[in-house]
Structure 1
Amino acid sequence: MKFLLSNIVALLLVFYLLSLASGKEEKKKDVYIVYMGAAAPASSPETLTQTHLQLLTSVIKRHEHPKLIQSYKHGFSGFAVKLSKDEALAMSRKKGVISVFVDPIYHLHTTRSWDFLQLQNSIETSSPSKSIKAEATSSSIGGEDTIIGLLDTGIWPELPSFSDKGMGPLKRKGWKGTCVNASDFNSSNCNMKLIGARAYSTDDSSLPYSFTDADSPRDDDGHGTHTASTAAGAAVSNASYYGVAAGTAKGGSPTSRIAMYKVCGLFGCSGSSILAAFDDAIADGVDVLSISLGASSVFSNPDFDKDPIAIGSFHAVEKNVIVVCSAGNDGPLPESVVNAAPWILTVAATTIDRKFESDIVLGRNKHVIKGQAINFSTLRKSPTFSLIYGRSAKSKSRSSTDQSASHCKLESLDKKKIKGKIIVCKNSDDDDTSNSIIVDQLKGSGVIGVILVKDQQKSIASTYLDFPVTEILLQAADELFTYINSTEKPVTTILPTVAVTKYKPAPQIAYFSSRGPSSQTKNILKPDIAAPGVDILAGWPMTLSSDVPPGKKPSGFNLLSGTSMACPHVAGVAANIKSWNLAWSPAAIRSAIMTTAILMNNNKTQLMTDSGSVATPYDFGAGEVNPTAALQPGLIYDATPKDYLLFLCNYGYDKAKIKLISASIPVGFKCPKNSSKDLISGMNYPSIAVSNLQGQEKRTVSRTLTNVGGKEVITYIVSVQSPVEVEVKVVPEKLQFTKKNKKLNYDVTFSVKDFSKKSDLFGWITWSDDKHRVRTPYVLSRK
């Protein structure tokens, strides 16, 4: 189904491009976003819309009637409109315009979690110091008046995950959101849990498709329903994926409220809709924004003033809204992380301690080989089915080769030899044909089961529904092939999937999770934090039944993987922190999450990737999120809007542009004369990244810590973990907080002795009292 859909999308795009080629270039118009920065405090929405129309009429021909596709007039100023290239260029030269860019199309970052995170809280988070636990005992504490907004594909409101049972009215004043009425959605679909639902459309007649249903926030994809229930879904007992992964499904902040902003449809998420949703969410009064979508790192990342997510999140943070975004699914390539602006909390994906096993049973001695997949096999559990290796079933065709047959390319196989048997196929990441296509072709040829031999096990368990398929690693395949080669009539069976919990080691960094450093901001470490994002069970629309096993009813839950799934985990944690600390800034909440992160797996060893290599802060940022400890961080690294303005100065924006971007520029603010990207390292961030550092060179950065613990008079002592290639000196080594001195500074001087063996060096700076451990990762690079 997904393969067919992708072909339809490709054909539509081809027709669209052909239609453009056949038309006259001078008449071609695209949707452009005109970004004008902060909305003037005294300007009403109506006044801003008129300003946008007047600006538009100044660049288009007189006989044309301008029409705004979107007008941004609450959290910031700007609009989306169809323009020619010449008109867009003319618009970019107008006074008050910061940037003009073609409306980009972004994509969703999808490819037991909360219980696992709770268990991880008891694991030592740093050696050799003893484990320090927060006094809080639940990741779901608080959140009753906290509102989580999601920019996604919509929501399926009837699911039990969105029940408001036991919830009272919103006590806090100031919520201005709404539930729109549509043909399949109205205000009665909302309740005390789902308090807002909006939808957006590109309304672009030049495209052969619409990116979203123009009027309905109902989810026709499933992604938004899944992320919303992960972030703030109510607890639902007896949840499972057709009997697999059974347990209680719940969100990270089950007492928080949800507001859904549908910006994505079947073909992606338009930048103009994303900005419209940001604009509304800021005005509505959300506390947290969870955004599981973004640009692709395959193409060059847009600059911060041309990236709808960076633009919208900047203005949201100015209004005290914390923005949590997925890091992207282009891993394990380096420099693949997206959503890397320093005002965004960027989330990588990890595994949990649950594995979906579908084992193989061999021969009369019933030897078991462990496999991984999700299938609801109805084969007998006794090994009585004939087993054949693909290469042994090679056809006599001249085009057939040992390699193509061993990889079970259908045109290379003798169908008579494989019919009614379980076939073994080699499969590698380099294969052009996907597993699902190979399996479907074999199933259609009479095969009764498939064993895929992988050269590298992926953390995601592939789903094959009722057809018996499992995947094993090359090491396990040695046993399998030894049995096949030593037996005249090998037999086997494939067992249905069982969920194995307390699997070790976990967490591991998922192979697909995008990696740092950021190509835009190497002096800010990205991603910031990691969270569960592999095979996450959460709510699913009941009508999306293409993946329902035969004879089963839709379950209302699905297993999905991606940094899309990791993002709402952190959004839920942020909402809980916010509910207990209403005055905290987004930077303070980010700091609480990052400095309390976990660096060990459930084997009490350092975090690894799912390929077996040692993970680094480029993979996980500060570590795996710790929902309980984050509620009591002890100290925080705070930041104000001025810090982000200085970042923009050092990044290369001039004061005139920054003055247009921000609504909170202090009187007399000036960019430093020596502004440079190297100075970004000095931003008061919960991690430290220093680039362009040469051997034997010393570099000093400063940080400010604020005491938010229970004791006003307290002393913290520093400890440093560093590789042998670098010397780290922290001054002072003690921070003595008092009632009058709640904020204290410290300097860190890095001196690299040798960069010859490694281009990047990692370490940690930790401040500890008798209860808290406040950890800051650092990375030093010579590029």
Structure 2
Amino acid sequence: MMGLKLYFALVFLCSLLFGPVIAEDGKVHIVYMGSLSHNNREDLVTSHLEVLSSVLESPRHAKQSLVRSYTYAFNGFAAVLSKEQATTLVGKPGVLSVFPDTVLNLHTTHSWDYLEKDLSMPGFSYRKPKSSGTDIILGFLDTGIWPEAASFSDKGMGPVPSRWKGACVKGENFNVSNCNRKIIGARYYSGGEDDDLKKNSKPKSIWPESRTARDYQGHGTYTAATAAGSFVDNANYNGLANGTARGGSASSSTRIAMYRVCGLDYGCPGVQILAAFDDAVKDGVDIVSISIGVRSSNQADFVKDAIAIGAFHATQKGILVVSSAGNEGPDSQTVVNAAPWIFTVGATSIDREFLSNVVLGNGKIIKGKGITMSNLSHSAVHPLVYAGSIPDKSSYPVAASNCLLDSLDASKAKGNVVVCIANDTAASRYIMKLAVQDAGGIGMVVVEDIQIFEAFDYGTFPATAVSKTSATEIFSYIKSNRNPVATITLTEVVTNYIPAPVIASFSSRGPGGLTQNILKPDISAPGVNIIAAWNPPNQSDEDTVVSEMTPSTFNMMSGTSVAVPHVTGAAAFVKSINPTWSSSAIRSALMTTAIVRNNMGKLLTNESDIPGTPFDFGAGVVNPIGALQPGLVYETSIDDYFHFLCNYGLDSENIKIIAANESYKCPSGVNADLISNMNYPSIAISKLGIKNGSTTISRSVTNFVPEQAPTYKVTIDAPPGLNVKVSPEILHFSKTSKKLSFNVVFTPTNVATKGYAFGTLVWSDGKHNVRSPFAVNMV
């Protein structure tokens, strides 16, 4: 082995003289080789070069091709390969999958008070949190961090935990001193090259980007502050919603490690995401937060998905991975990051709204939503016109109604408040605003239902958004008056808004595209109009700050990206008080105690006031306080995930590579339907025959109140057409029996209809209510 290493070194020196020879059609590919059988990095890199050299012309070309070796969390590497070379590699011993690097995208204060108090959750005083003495390290795979933000103050924090093995990497405009006792780690991945390789070859970056952990986009700063930011008084968004900002785990024992995997110009490459997972495991993080994903139409298999691979091996090491469900709602089957070892998060609103109303000439007030520092008269004296009635000569009425650029007749729009209908996806609210302004309009009313819950910032331009139902009054008034007039009011921040929470329209929905026998998303959290730390003025991408006012160091965002750090912070809070709990125990506790009713006492609804299902909100809205005392927990083991992969269709030889266990063998009789039996806190069945169909699902629960021997009784809420029976109906725990099992039998009745039916089963001992949703597709 040592001789081979020397040979590779000598060949590499020759390559510096003669230059690289890499296929012209070469692209970065990821070669996944499963779990680590040993942890000797030098030997692993050498083995990766051996594999590469078997399909390239020589070891010299292998050295030139290698981009990064993964040697801490799992076994694999990234290399520049032609399609033919990649195909040849698939058949090599120990290679599980080879796939082109994919560029993934970001899923882009009061919210914590709302979760802990306003949803009737008995809370603690967070002004002076009681530290458990347990340091929790959160790893963020994101756009970097702005370390000077007040949310990252380390005042009152103790020394960096001795178990931390990470680094604060110096980069452009980022020094080691930018880290502190709050931000204890910061890494960047410019071009994806391996650090060891860069020391020798200094290869050209695959993605041109400044080499720094500093955040020039704001997203990473925002997510880290939302999950673990320190207290900041007088935080607001351009003077609105003033209050105290803090993270969900604002304890003095919560630390941040940032792994910059995304850039302004190139997105978030999978090769860098895997490198960050690899480092996070080595560094010693407890929870990984990753608000990144692909579009649902581009989902790859679990062994060809960078996030799924990285998350699997992080989970193997006891790390909880929290990720976003995606922003493709309200369409069904759009949820991503849906592997069972990923904690998948959807988004909901909170009880705070930013209202800017439309006042008509007849005195009627139409409720509108948006942020505007309007300078219009308080009286309804401004001419009001429908955009579709004033198209430009070179445009069509349908384009004008959507207020597309250059679609409006300026002579008829000038001086008017223009009513636009948001039916065209090409017309964002920003584009509409520009179109109306360019045509001389003095204000704008946007008619929409999908994005109305997101308070768009129109700056000083008078504008607001109203629902299509509310807009009927506006159109009726315009038609019935020869000279209709209106005005738009200044933005007013309203709390205790009802109903709340509401399922965000953009939040991706289940069932999962790769398997419908796991219920996804897992849980929901605030993800609409949330305020958190941001980059200082003029330090963000120019398209990020739409407001014409001086931007503050706090920003307001919506997306499942925003929901993820809420769950990350909640998980960190639970773990800080229960440091011995496993990642699956924390997930179970958060899921079975989640909230499924709004502040009106009704089942969570969508933006159209239609009751939602677990495919919309998972187990419910995260309840950090309730999760501290879950009563019973569904613990999912790594073996459960191996069995899942067997039932999913991988054979024993592949699982041996993933598990690094030559003796592993898939159970007999594997099939996709058995995935439903994985010990998960929710239940999903992809097909249940209406005629003579019956399915039995098994589960085990562990008593997490060890000093007690409780008795739990089950309550079932089954939908019409489905009979659900649990056996046994009573679980008697003792001091010696901490874990008990039960079966759930699902049987269609004579009134069953095709399609998904939803319900819940709840185990209760009079104090704890352990709630599990189920989804059954009757066919």
What TM-score do the two structures reach when normalised by structure 1? Answer: 0.90
User: Which segment is superposed worse, 587-596 or 212-221?
Assistant: 212-221
2:278 is matched with which residue?
Answer: 279
The CA deviation at 1:51 is 1.4
Cα distance between partner residues in 1 of 2:227 and 2:192: 30
1:230 is matched with which residue?
Answer: 226
* Pair 1:552–1:295, CA change in 2 (3 A): closer
2:214 is matched with which residue?
Answer: 218
* Pair 1:181–1:404, CA change in 2 (3 A): closer
Q: After superposition, give the CA deviation of every residue in 1:648-676 in whole Å (9 maximum; x if it has no partner).
A: 1111112221111125x5x9643111011
The CA deviation at 1:479 is 2.6
1:761 is matched with which residue?
Answer: 757
Cα distance between partner residues in 1 of 2:503 and 2:167: 38
The letter of the residue matching 1:343 is W
Q: Is the Cα contact below 8 Å between 1:134 and 1:631 reproduced in 2?
A: no
* Pair 1:405–1:621, CA change in 2 (3 A): closer
Question: Structure 2: 5+ residue runs without aligned partners?
Answer: 1-20, 194-200
Cα distance between partner residues in 2 of 1:488 and 1:653: 70
2:613 is matched with which residue?
Answer: 616
Q: After superposition, give the CA deviation of every residue in 1:266-288 in whole Å (9 maximum; x if it has no partner).
A: 22111110000000000000000
Q: 1:515 aligns with which of 494, 509, 513?
A: 509
The letter of the residue matching 2:640 is D
Query: Where do residues 99-114 of structure 1 align in structure 2 (5 Å cutoff)?
Result: 99-110=97-108, 112-114=110-112
Cα distance between partner residues in 1 of 2:548 and 2:423: 33
2:138 is matched with which residue?
Answer: 148
- The answer as to 2:675 corresponding to 1:675 is no
Q: Is the Cα contact below 8 Å between 2:636 and 2:680 reproduced in 1?
A: yes
The CA deviation at 1:527 is 0.6
1:349 is matched with which residue?
Answer: 347
1:782 is matched with which residue?
Answer: 778
1:184 is matched with which residue?
Answer: 173
Q: 2:594 aligns with which of 594, 597, 600?
A: 597
The CA deviation at 1:544 is 2.0
* Pair 1:651–1:393, CA change in 2 (3 A): closer
Identity of aligned residues (%): 49
- The answer as to 2:237 corresponding to 1:241 is yes
SS in 1 for 2:249: coil
Cα distance between partner residues in 2 of 1:643 and 1:350: 30
Cα distance between partner residues in 1 of 2:419 and 2:147: 44
1:428 is matched with which residue?
Answer: 422
Query: Where do residues 132-531 of structure 1 align in structure 2 (5 Å cutoff)?
Result: 142=131, 145-170=135-160, 172-202=161-191, 211=207, 213=209, 215-255=211-251, 256-266=254-264, 267-299=266-298, 301-363=299-361, 366-394=363-391, 397=393, 402-408=397-403, 413-425=408-420, 427-430=421-424, 432-454=426-448, 458-531=452-525
2:657 is matched with which residue?
Answer: 660
Cα distance between partner residues in 1 of 2:57 and 2:632: 58
Q: Is the Cα contact below 8 Å between 1:465 and 1:549 reproduced in 2?
A: yes
Cα distance between partner residues in 1 of 2:302 and 2:541: 40
Query: Where do residues 59-70 of structure 1 align in structure 2 (5 Å cutoff)?
Result: 59-62=55-58, 64=61, 66-67=63-64, 68-70=66-68
The letter of the residue matching 1:275 is L
SS in 2 for 1:306: coil
Q: Is the Cα contact below 8 Å between 1:617 and 1:623 reproduced in 2?
A: yes
Q: Is the Cα contact below 8 Å between 1:106 and 1:268 reproduced in 2?
A: yes
The letter of the residue matching 2:225 is S
1:128 is matched with which residue?
Answer: none
Query: Where do residues 688-699 of structure 1 align in structure 2 (5 Å cutoff)?
Result: 688-695=683-690, 696-699=692-695
The CA deviation at 1:119 is 2.9
SS in 2 for 1:304: coil
- The answer as to 2:96 corresponding to 1:98 is yes
Cα distance between partner residues in 1 of 2:510 and 2:404: 37
Cα distance between partner residues in 2 of 1:33 and 1:562: 29
* Pair 1:307–1:150, CA change in 2 (3 A): same
* Pair 1:223–1:574, CA change in 2 (3 A): same
Q: After superposition, give the CA deviation of every residue in 1:474-499 in whole Å (9 maximum; x if it has no partner).
A: 33223323433444433322112121
Q: Is the Cα contact below 8 Å between 2:451 and 2:505 reproduced in 1?
A: no
1:18 is matched with which residue?
Answer: none
Cα distance between partner residues in 2 of 1:419 and 1:596: 55
The CA deviation at 1:401 is 5.2
Q: 1:743 aligns with which of 724, 739, 745?
A: 739
Cα distance between partner residues in 1 of 2:751 and 2:284: 49
Q: After superposition, give the CA deviation of every residue in 1:446-491 in whole Å (9 maximum; x if it has no partner).
A: 2111112236563212221111111112332233234334444333
* Pair 1:264–1:159, CA change in 2 (3 A): same
Cα distance between partner residues in 2 of 1:448 and 1:154: 39
Cα distance between partner residues in 1 of 2:624 and 2:415: 50
What TM-score do the two structures reach when normalised by structure 2? Answer: 0.90
2:701 is matched with which residue?
Answer: 705
1:15 is matched with which residue?
Answer: none
The letter of the residue matching 2:673 is D
Q: Is the Cα contact below 8 Å between 1:634 and 1:708 reproduced in 2?
A: yes
Query: Where do residues 13-52 of structure 1 align in structure 2 (5 Å cutoff)?
Result: 27-41=24-38, 43-52=39-48
The CA deviation at 1:444 is 1.9
User: Which segment is superposed worse, 537-546 or 630-639?
Assistant: 537-546
The CA deviation at 1:582 is 2.0
Superposition RMSD in Å: 2.5
Question: Structure 1: 5+ residue runs without aligned partners?
Answer: 1-23, 123-132
Q: After superposition, give the CA deviation of every residue in 1:609-639 in whole Å (9 maximum; x if it has no partner).
A: 1132221011111111111101111110112
Cα distance between partner residues in 1 of 2:130 and 2:736: 31
* Pair 1:559–1:657, CA change in 2 (3 A): same
Q: After superposition, give the CA deviation of every residue in 1:680-703 in whole Å (9 maximum; x if it has no partner).
A: 111110001122210131111111
Indicate the structure whose relative CO is greater, using CA pairs within 8 Å and at least 6 residues apart: 1
The CA deviation at 1:416 is 2.1
Q: Is the Cα contact below 8 Å between 1:211 and 1:264 reproduced in 2?
A: no
The CA deviation at 1:579 is 1.5
SS in 2 for 1:311: helix
The CA deviation at 1:391 is 4.6
2:196 is matched with which residue?
Answer: none
SS in 1 for 2:99: strand
SS in 2 for 1:191: coil
Q: Is the Cα contact below 8 Å between 1:121 and 1:629 reproduced in 2?
A: no
Q: 1:635 aligns with which of 616, 632, 637?
A: 632
Cα distance between partner residues in 2 of 1:391 and 1:69: 54
User: Which segment is superposed worse, 613-622 or 488-497?
Assistant: 488-497
Cα distance between partner residues in 1 of 2:208 and 2:373: 34
Cα distance between partner residues in 2 of 1:625 and 1:616: 16
SS in 2 for 1:703: strand
The CA deviation at 1:585 is 1.4
* Pair 1:343–1:781, CA change in 2 (3 A): same
Q: Is the Cα contact below 8 Å between 1:359 and 1:370 reproduced in 2?
A: yes
